[in-house]
Amino acid sequence: MMNDSDPPFSKEFEQQVNDCLTYLYDITRLQQLPLVAQLLPDIPAIQRGQAFRRLIFKLIESLAPPPGTDIRSKEARVYHIIMWRYVDGLPNLEIGERLALSERQFYREHRRALQTMTYFLWEQVNAQAAQPPTEMSVQSEVQRVTAHTEQTTFDPAELCASVVEATRTLALARQIEVVTRFSDHPAPLPLNAQVIRQLLIVLMYQVLRRQTTGTSLVWTCEATASALTLTLDLTMQEADWHDLHQILNDHATFQELLRTLNATLEYESNHEAAAITLSLPVAQQVVLIIDDNPDAISLLQRYLGDTFPSVAARQAEEGLQMARTLRPWIIVLDTMLPTMDGWEVLQNLKNHPETRTIPVLVCSVLDTPDMALALGADGFLKKPPDQAKFLATLAHWQS
C-alpha cells in the first residue's frame, strides 16, 4: 500500500483513473478515455475497453488479502472497497456498513483505495515510457493476435493436425513419430483457435527439441463442453525434462499465451517417461449470433465484450449446426438471411430436441415483436438495439 500524503501522480491523473473505474462496464465510453489509450496503445481502439477491463480485474485481484483475513481489517479494506464499489456497484453507504466505517472514515478509506489503484496504473504508464519497444513486444504481440482474431468454433482434431504439420520438419529431423489419439470425434468448440495454435506450436517446438531421438510422442485429446484437455506423453532424459520445465516457465510468450487463454499446465514424470497436460477451459454461457451482416455481428459482439462470450454464424445452416453442437446459452437471430429466412430457422430451433429449450432473441429491422413471440421467439429487439437494452434483455435469462 502507498502513503497517500504525497502521491507521485497529479490530481488530474487520479481523476482519470476514477473516471475509468466509474465507466468500467460501459465499454463504448471506456475505450474513448485517454488513459485507456495511453495504457494500451498497441490495442485497436475498438478492443481497448475490454482489454483495459481485464487489466483492472487483474490489478484488483492482486490486492486480495490472504484467505481468512477479516474483511474489516485495514489490509483488506482497499481490496473490498474497490471490488464492491467499482466491480459489484454497491452504494457507498452499504460498503461503509459492511466494513463498520463511519461516513467520514469511509471516504478517507475510499480515497486511499483509489490512490492505490492510481499508483499501480501510474507505475504502468511510466514503465511503458521507460521500456524500449523490444521489452514491450511480448505482451503487445499476444494482445494484438487476440484482438484481431475472433473467438469461433473449431474442430480440435483439425487444430492438432495443423500443429503437427507445422512442426513436422523438426520431428522428422529428430526421427520422432508424433501420434494423435482422440477417444471420440470431438464436437467443435468455442475458443480462439489462432491463439491456441500459437501456444501449441511453441510447446511442441520446445518438447521436440528435448524428446529422445527415435522415439514416439503421443498426443491424447479429450474435449468436453467445458474444457479441452491435451496430454503429451514424452520420452525424455531427466536433465532434458528439468530443462524443458524451466524453459516453459521462463518463456515470456508461452506464459502470456497461457494467461490469455486462462489455461493451466501440469507436469508429471517417472524416470524417462513423462507427461504434460494442457487444460483449456471452454467459455460457458456462449451467445450464438446468427446474422449475415458482419457489421451487425461486430456491433453485438462489441456490446457483449468479455461479459458474454460469443460466436457467430453468417449462414442459417451453419447457425443451426452450431446451435446443436455448442448448445449455446442464448441465440440472437436475424430474420433476413440469404438462403433460409430467420422464421424457418426459428421453427427449426424450436422443433429440434437438442435446441428447443435454448432461448431465442429475434433481433431484426422488421418491427414485428408480436409475430416473433407468436412464432416461438423468447424475446424481440429492434435492430440495431441499444447496448443497455440489449444487455438487460440478455440478463433476463442469466442464471
Does the structure show a pLDDT above 80 at 16? yes
pLDDT in tens, 325-361: 777 889 999 998 888 889 999 999 999 888 888 999 9
Does the structure show a pLDDT above 60 at 1? no
Question: Which residue, among 175, 179, 23, 169, has the nearest Cα to 89 in the 3D structure?
Answer: 23
- What is the C-alpha separation between 370 and 201, in angstroms, rounded? 51
b/e 328-359 (16+ beta carbons within 10 angstroms → b) = bbbbbbbbebeeeebbebbebbbeeeebeebb
CB 332 within 8 Å of CB 363: yes
pTM over 0.75, yes/no = no
DSSP 337: -
Give residue 136's pLDDT band: very low, low, confident or very high (50, 70, 90): very low
Q: Which residue has the cell 421467439?
A: 377
DSSP 66: P
CB 322 within 8 Å of CB 313: yes
pLDDT in tens, 191-208: 667 788 888 999 999 999
Which grid cell is 184?
Answer: 471420440
Q: Which class for 73: exposed (0-12), middle (13-18), buried (19 or more C-beta within 10 A)?
A: exposed
Question: Which residue, among 294, 297, 284, has the nearest Cα to 363 in the 3D structure?
Answer: 297
SS (H, E, C) 186-223: CCCEEECHHHHHHHHHHHHHHHHHHCCCCCEEEEEEEE
Q: What residues contact residue 269 under an 8 Å CB cut-off, 6+ apart?
A: 236, 238, 241, 275
Lowest mean pLDDT segment, chosen from 30-44, 58-72, 125-139, 301-315: 125-139
The architecture of the domain spanning 153-281 is 2-Layer Sandwich (3.30)
Helix 193-210 crosses helix 156-166 at what angle (to 10 degrees)?
A: 50
pLDDT for res 138: 56
Q: Which of 15-24, 30-39, 216-225 has the highest mean pLDDT?
A: 15-24
- What is the C-alpha separation between 114 and 130, in angstroms, rounded? 24
CA 398 from centre of chain: 18
Whether CATH 3.40.50.2300 fits 287-395:
yes
- What is the C-alpha separation between 91 and 81, in angstroms, rounded? 10
Phi, psi (degrees; rounded to nearest 5) at 129: -65, -30
- Cβ contacts of 375-380, under 8 Å, gap ≥ 24: 375/343, 375/346, 375/347, 376/346, 376/347, 376/349, 376/350, 377/333, 377/346
- Domain edges within the chain: 11-130, 153-281, 287-395
Q: Which residue has the cell 438487460?
A: 392
pLDDT for res 148: 47
The residue with greater pLDDT, 140 or 250, is 250
Q: Which residue has the cell 489490509?
A: 75
Helix (H) or strand (E) holding 275: strand 273-281
DSSP 278: E
Give the C-alpha distances (Å, rounded to integers) separating 269 from 23, 42, 162, 203, 280: 48, 40, 27, 17, 21
